[in-house]
Copies of this chain bind each other. A is one copy, B any other.
Amino acid sequence: MLDNTDIFIIDELSRNSRITMKELGEKVHLTGPATAARVAKLEDSGVIEGYTIKVNQVKMGYSVHAIIHIFTKSTNHQPYLSFIKKQAQYVINNYKVSGESCYMLECKFPSNEIVDAFLTDLSNYVSYKLSIVINKE
Protein backbone atom coordinates (compact mmCIF):
# COMPACT_ATOMS: atom_id res chain seq x y z
CA MET A 1 0.00 0.00 0.00
CA LEU A 2 2.57 2.59 1.09
CA ASP A 3 6.10 2.32 -0.25
CA ASN A 4 9.24 4.00 1.04
CA THR A 5 8.70 7.04 -1.17
CA ASP A 6 5.23 7.56 0.32
CA ILE A 7 6.65 7.30 3.84
CA PHE A 8 9.35 9.79 2.93
CA ILE A 9 6.76 12.19 1.49
CA ILE A 10 4.58 11.94 4.61
CA ASP A 11 7.63 12.49 6.80
CA GLU A 12 8.71 15.52 4.81
CA LEU A 13 5.21 17.05 4.72
CA SER A 14 4.94 16.54 8.48
CA ARG A 15 8.02 18.69 8.86
CA ASN A 16 6.96 21.29 6.28
CA SER A 17 3.61 21.01 4.59
CA ARG A 18 4.15 24.17 2.53
CA ILE A 19 7.10 22.76 0.60
CA THR A 20 6.63 22.97 -3.17
CA MET A 21 5.94 19.76 -5.08
CA LYS A 22 9.06 20.47 -7.13
CA GLU A 23 11.28 20.70 -4.06
CA LEU A 24 9.63 17.73 -2.41
CA GLY A 25 10.17 15.84 -5.66
CA GLU A 26 13.89 16.55 -5.53
CA LYS A 27 14.06 15.01 -2.07
CA VAL A 28 12.39 11.79 -3.23
CA HIS A 29 14.00 11.73 -6.69
CA LEU A 30 10.82 12.37 -8.65
CA THR A 31 9.59 15.20 -10.87
CA GLY A 32 7.10 17.78 -9.61
CA PRO A 33 4.04 16.29 -11.35
CA ALA A 34 4.90 12.75 -10.22
CA THR A 35 5.24 13.97 -6.64
CA ALA A 36 1.98 15.93 -6.83
CA ALA A 37 0.24 12.78 -8.11
CA ARG A 38 1.63 10.77 -5.17
CA VAL A 39 0.42 13.38 -2.71
CA ALA A 40 -3.03 13.52 -4.35
CA LYS A 41 -3.26 9.75 -3.97
CA LEU A 42 -2.33 9.96 -0.31
CA GLU A 43 -5.09 12.54 0.15
CA ASP A 44 -7.66 10.46 -1.73
CA SER A 45 -6.85 7.33 0.24
CA GLY A 46 -7.24 9.29 3.48
CA VAL A 47 -3.68 8.80 4.72
CA ILE A 48 -3.20 12.57 4.60
CA GLU A 49 -6.25 13.98 6.36
CA GLY A 50 -5.36 17.64 6.05
CA TYR A 51 -2.83 20.43 6.09
CA THR A 52 -2.43 22.49 9.22
CA ILE A 53 -0.07 24.66 11.26
CA LYS A 54 1.59 24.38 14.65
CA VAL A 55 0.54 27.39 16.70
CA ASN A 56 2.34 28.66 19.79
CA GLN A 57 -0.55 28.64 22.25
CA VAL A 58 1.30 30.74 24.83
CA LYS A 59 1.75 33.51 22.25
CA MET A 60 -1.93 33.14 21.41
CA GLY A 61 -2.69 33.93 25.04
CA TYR A 62 -3.26 30.40 26.30
CA SER A 63 -0.68 29.96 29.05
CA VAL A 64 -2.30 27.08 30.93
CA HIS A 65 -2.29 23.60 29.40
CA ALA A 66 -4.42 21.18 31.37
CA ILE A 67 -5.33 17.52 31.24
CA ILE A 68 -8.57 16.77 33.01
CA HIS A 69 -9.57 13.21 33.84
CA ILE A 70 -13.32 12.90 33.70
CA PHE A 71 -15.38 10.50 35.79
CA THR A 72 -19.02 10.56 34.78
CA LYS A 73 -21.51 10.20 37.60
CA SER A 74 -24.52 9.30 35.52
CA THR A 75 -24.70 6.77 32.72
CA ASN A 76 -25.86 9.52 30.37
CA HIS A 77 -22.79 11.31 29.03
CA GLN A 78 -24.72 13.71 26.85
CA PRO A 79 -24.89 16.66 29.29
CA TYR A 80 -21.10 16.51 29.65
CA LEU A 81 -20.55 16.21 25.89
CA SER A 82 -22.89 19.13 25.24
CA PHE A 83 -21.04 21.20 27.81
CA ILE A 84 -17.59 20.69 26.28
CA LYS A 85 -19.01 21.37 22.83
CA LYS A 86 -20.00 24.81 24.08
CA GLN A 87 -16.50 25.25 25.54
CA ALA A 88 -14.75 24.41 22.25
CA GLN A 89 -12.45 27.43 22.46
CA TYR A 90 -10.69 25.81 25.42
CA VAL A 91 -10.79 22.18 24.27
CA ILE A 92 -7.91 20.59 22.37
CA ASN A 93 -8.97 16.94 22.60
CA ASN A 94 -11.60 14.89 24.35
CA TYR A 95 -10.60 11.25 24.32
CA LYS A 96 -12.94 8.51 25.46
CA VAL A 97 -10.63 6.09 27.22
CA SER A 98 -10.55 2.72 28.87
CA GLY A 99 -8.88 2.52 32.25
CA GLU A 100 -9.72 4.44 35.41
CA SER A 101 -11.43 7.51 33.98
CA CYS A 102 -14.10 7.79 31.29
CA TYR A 103 -12.68 10.68 29.29
CA MET A 104 -9.39 12.50 29.13
CA LEU A 105 -10.00 16.12 28.32
CA GLU A 106 -7.06 18.17 27.07
CA CYS A 107 -7.59 21.92 27.34
CA LYS A 108 -5.87 25.28 27.02
CA PHE A 109 -6.75 28.29 29.17
CA PRO A 110 -5.66 31.93 29.27
CA SER A 111 -5.41 32.06 33.09
CA ASN A 112 -6.09 30.22 36.31
CA GLU A 113 -9.19 32.35 36.78
CA ILE A 114 -10.63 30.89 33.60
CA VAL A 115 -9.60 27.39 34.67
CA ASP A 116 -11.42 27.97 37.94
CA ALA A 117 -14.59 29.10 36.22
CA PHE A 118 -14.39 26.19 33.77
CA LEU A 119 -13.98 23.61 36.54
CA THR A 120 -16.81 25.12 38.54
CA ASP A 121 -19.10 24.67 35.55
CA LEU A 122 -17.66 21.25 34.76
CA SER A 123 -18.43 19.94 38.24
CA ASN A 124 -22.13 20.28 37.48
CA TYR A 125 -21.80 17.38 35.07
CA VAL A 126 -18.94 15.13 36.13
CA SER A 127 -16.22 14.44 38.67
CA TYR A 128 -12.68 15.18 37.58
CA LYS A 129 -9.01 15.12 38.45
CA LEU A 130 -6.84 17.94 37.20
CA SER A 131 -3.29 17.73 35.86
CA ILE A 132 -1.34 20.72 34.57
CA VAL A 133 1.27 20.27 31.85
CA ILE A 134 4.57 21.67 33.14
CA ASN A 135 6.73 20.80 30.14
CA LYS A 136 6.62 18.90 26.87
CA GLU A 137 9.77 16.83 26.69
Binding site for B on A (CB under 8 A): 2, 10, 13-18, 45-56, 59-60, 65, 67, 81, 93-101, 104, 129-137
Collect the chain B residues with CB atoms within 8 Å of residue A130's CB: 99
- Chain B residues whose CB sits within 8 angstroms of the CB of A59 once the complex forms: 45-47
Instruction: Please report the C-alpha to C-alpha distance between residue A50 and residue B53 in the assembled complex, in whole angstroms.
Output: 6
Residues of B within 8 A of A16 (CB): 50-52
Q: In the complex, which residues of chain B have a beta carbon less than 8 angstroms from the beta carbon of A104?
A: 67, 131, 133
For A56, list chain B residues within 8 Å (CB): 46-49
Q: How far is the CA of A25 from the CA of B37 in the complex (A)?
A: 27
Q: Which residues of B contact A47 (CB under 8 A)?
A: 55-56, 59-60
Q: Beyond the given A14-B55, A50-B54, A104-B133, could you list 6 further A-B residue pairs with CB under 8 A, ordered by the A residue number?
A: A16-B52, A17-B18, A47-B59, A67-B97, A98-B131, A101-B131
Distance (whole angstroms) from the CB of A53 to the closest CB of chain B: 5
Q: Which 10 pairs, one residue from A and one from B, show the smallest C-beta to C-beta distance?
A: A99-B131, A49-B54, A96-B135, A17-B51, A97-B131, A18-B51, A50-B54, A98-B132, A96-B134, A95-B133
Q: A49's contact among B45, B55, B67, B137, by CB below 8 Å, is which? A: B55
What chain B residues lie within 8 Å of A81 (beta carbons)? 137
Chain B residues with CB under 8 A of A100: 129, 131
